[in-house]
């Protein structure tokens, strides 16, 4: 397939996944802010959201106060914030538009309809909407696109590039979420094996649809140690780093070309780290440095994939 086509498919999937993960985070913070336990320091969760997406500075430049409403508007709708949900869904649709002939009719119509619906959204309209419902809507549009992709698209290379975008983006997003949340939730000097705020950790799990999964896997109280283990090492948990890297590794095996040996090697190495890694070693390294290193490696792999498959290189 055309390299440019692969590039558009890959980015269509990445932007859709990013939009989904962004509202997952917002949804959790929003629900938390509705809980009665707030002791006046409710900016914590919202500041963390900006930190996860590396938007702290960009937000500060807008001069807005750090209120839930301002953060939500900035992260969801701000036209100048290139990572806003609005911009992600626009970019997803533009990428789809550029290769609409490669998509099935259902895929194109899903992406296009999502964009047409959010296109005219304004802060006023958002305020008038039930936020929880809106977040659900974004999530379900993403689910829907993934579903029609899986159910209608020929499972060929084009399909693999869509999946590649999804899993790379998800690995990145889950790692960021865990990194920021973990440190904002775990008080200094507290052991990761002790039980802490049930609601806060429960919320983190819910943001990756893993609350019930946690119960099912551990049949135990929620501890930060096990939350990290579930989201990093559990290969059956669809949003964990291990499961995303499994998928990336597998896809790279299927789309291999004459130049892609290095990408395959990097993915294999990353896969081995997760497949044979142990939680204790990760905590010995320090979770934060370990996740930082992971993000670095996944991004380097993304660049390498871009060079090997997506950027047109003359023969």
Residue ranges in contact with another protein by CB under 8 A: 1-6, 94, 97-102, 105, 108-109, 112-113, 116, 157, 161, 255, 257-258, 309-310, 312-315
Give dist(CA 161, CA 44) in Å, integer: 37
In Å, how far are 194, 263, 299 from 183, measured between CA atoms?
A: 15, 32, 22
Give dist(CA 269, CA 183) in Å, integer: 27
- For residues 175 and 263, which CB has a smaller minimum distance to another protein in the complex? 263
Q: How far is the CB of 315 from another protein (least distance, A)?
A: 4
Q: How far is the CB of 294 from another protein (least distance, A)?
A: 26
- For residues 96 and 205, which CB has a smaller minimum distance to another protein in the complex? 96
Q: How far is the CB of 311 from another protein (least distance, A)?
A: 9
Q: How far is the CB of 80 from another protein (least distance, A)?
A: 17
Q: How far is the CB of 305 from another protein (least distance, A)?
A: 10
- For residues 128 and 315, which CB has a smaller minimum distance to another protein in the complex? 315
Q: How far is the CB of 86 from another protein (least distance, A)?
A: 16
Q: How far is the CB of 11 from another protein (least distance, A)?
A: 14
In Å, how far are 84, 139, 145, 181 from 89, measured between CA atoms?
A: 9, 12, 12, 25
The alpha carbon of 45 is separated from its chain's Cα centroid by a whole number of angstroms, namely 17
Q: How far is the CB of 310 from another protein (least distance, A)?
A: 8
DSSP sequence for 140-165: HHHHHHHHHHHHHS-SSHHHHHHHHH
- For residues 207 and 266, which CB has a smaller minimum distance to another protein in the complex? 266
Angle of helix 241-254 versus helix 224-232 axis, rounded to 10: 10
Given the structure tokens 């790379």, which residue do they identify? 168
Asked if 165 contacts 17 with a C-beta cutoff of 8 angstroms, the reply is: yes
- For residues 105 and 221, which CB has a smaller minimum distance to another protein in the complex? 105
| Phi, psi torsion values for 64, nearest 5 degrees | -75, 150
- For residues 9 and 210, which CB has a smaller minimum distance to another protein in the complex? 9
Residue 157 in tokens: 């290379």
DSSP sequence for 42-94: THHHHHHHHHHTT-HHHHHHHT--S-HHHHHHHHHH-TT-TTSHHHHHHHHHH
- For residues 157 and 197, which CB has a smaller minimum distance to another protein in the complex? 157
Given the structure tokens 């789809």, which residue do they identify? 96
Asked if 121 contacts 73 with a C-beta cutoff of 8 angstroms, the reply is: no
- For residues 94 and 250, which CB has a smaller minimum distance to another protein in the complex? 94
């Amino acid at each position: 397939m055309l390299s440019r086509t692969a590039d558009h498919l890959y980015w269509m999937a990445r932007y859709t996944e990013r939009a989904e993960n962004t509202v997952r985070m917002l949804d959790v913070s929003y629900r938390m802010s509705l809980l009665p336990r707030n002791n006046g320091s409710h900016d914590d969760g919202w500041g963390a959201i900006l930190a996860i997406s590396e938007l702290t500075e960009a937000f500060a430049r807008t001069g807005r106060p750090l209120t839930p409403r301002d953060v939500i508007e900035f992260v969801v709708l701000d036209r100048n914030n290139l990572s806003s949900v609005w911009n992600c869904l626009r970019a997803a649709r533009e990428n789809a538009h550029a290769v609409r002939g490669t998509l099935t009719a259902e895929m194109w119509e899903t992406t296009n309809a999502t964009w047409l619906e959010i296109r005219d959204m304004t802060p006023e309209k958002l305020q008038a909407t039930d936020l929880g419902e809106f977040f659900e809507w974004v999530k379900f549009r993403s689910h829907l696109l993934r579903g029609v992709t899986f159910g209608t698209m020929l499972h060929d290379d084009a399909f693999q590039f869509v999946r590649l975008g999804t899993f790379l983006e998800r690995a990145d997003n889950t790692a960021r979420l865990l990194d920021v949340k973990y440190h904002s939730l775990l008080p200094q000097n507290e052991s990761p094996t002790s039980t802490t705020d049930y609601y806060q950790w429960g919320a983190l799990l819910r943001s990756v649809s893993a609350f019930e999964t946690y119960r099912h896997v551990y049949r135990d109280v929620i501890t930060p140690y096990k939350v990290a283990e579930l989201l990093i090492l559990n290969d059956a948990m669809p949003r964990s780093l291990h499961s995303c890297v499994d998928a990336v590794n597998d896809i790279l095996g299927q789309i291999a070309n004459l130049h892609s040996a290095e990408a395959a090697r990097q993915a294999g190495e990353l896969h081995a780290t997760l497949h044979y890694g142990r939680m204790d070693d990760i905590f010995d390294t320090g979770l934060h440095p370990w996740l930082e290193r992971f993000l670095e490696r996944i991004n380097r792999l993304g660049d390498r994939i871009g060079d090997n498959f997506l950027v047109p290189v003359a023969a």
